[in-house]
Structure 1
Amino acid sequence: MTQTKKQLPFIGWREYLGLPTLGIDKIKAKIDTGARTSSLHAFHIYTYKKDDREMVKFQVHPFQRDTHTTIECIAPLLEYRQVTNSGGHTQIRPVIISTVKLGNHQWNIELTLTSRDVMGFRMLLGRQAIKNRFLVDCGKSFIYLH
């Protein structure tokens, strides 16, 4: 018995994304199927209340090896979540929801905020963000040129 299933579009193992709700037009992300949630390099993370809503204010260096270009972002705080990083260390991270844009595709994802200064990519797009949306071609990069 054969099932007809909608063919999902392919993405490469790294892609340029936009995060329009955060004011980030372009950021290089590693597509990481080993990571459950997506994460964004953030620093000077500050939480505060506005109109009875918990908010988080933070800064982002959107480009690798560039610590001068800085974007200040503000988003509602969804929650704090315990995350185990690639080194096996557990940390509590703030979580926000952001719109992500890849080519003509746009959808909302959860993002954990953490310092990724020493990492090769400023952002990881985890498997929850791509589940039922894309297939990953691990032999290709930048299938969607932003």
Structure 2
Amino acid sequence: MPRIVGRARRIPVPDELQSLALAPRHLSLLSYLLFDGPATVNDLAARLEVAPTTVSLLVGELSRKGVLERREDELDRRRRIVSIAESWTPTIAGWLSRGADAWRQALAPLTPAERLMFLDTLRSYEEAMADAEE
């Protein structure tokens, strides 16, 4: 696990993104939006396991920098849909796709049951780490 985390940390942030001072919380948010597509603040908060106000602050910060866009939901005008700005998508995709491609390659030979066991194991590990913090 330390080797995996160390390798992920060594993936350089593209020059175009250096000035944005991105933190790990931004990386997770951008990853969800890139790989899962546009989402509401509440959906992102549930995935990130943080309060909607926290996500709203992150979205506001990245929106002011032009990285994210917010638009009205066509089906419910009270809701806002968050997405990566089109001009930033290639840069962010190039940066984050390396890790996603590696996961796809690693998981491809596994059966669905083996993938589920692997993901359950990672989830269990993460929960044990969270329990240790408390």
Whether the TM-score (by the shorter chain) exceeds 0.5 is no
TM-score by length of 1: 0.26
Quick check: which one's helix share is greater? Answer: 2
Quick check: which one's strand share is greater? Answer: 1
Compare relative contact order (CA 8 Å, sep 6+) and give the higher one, 1 or 2.
1
TM-score by length of 2: 0.27
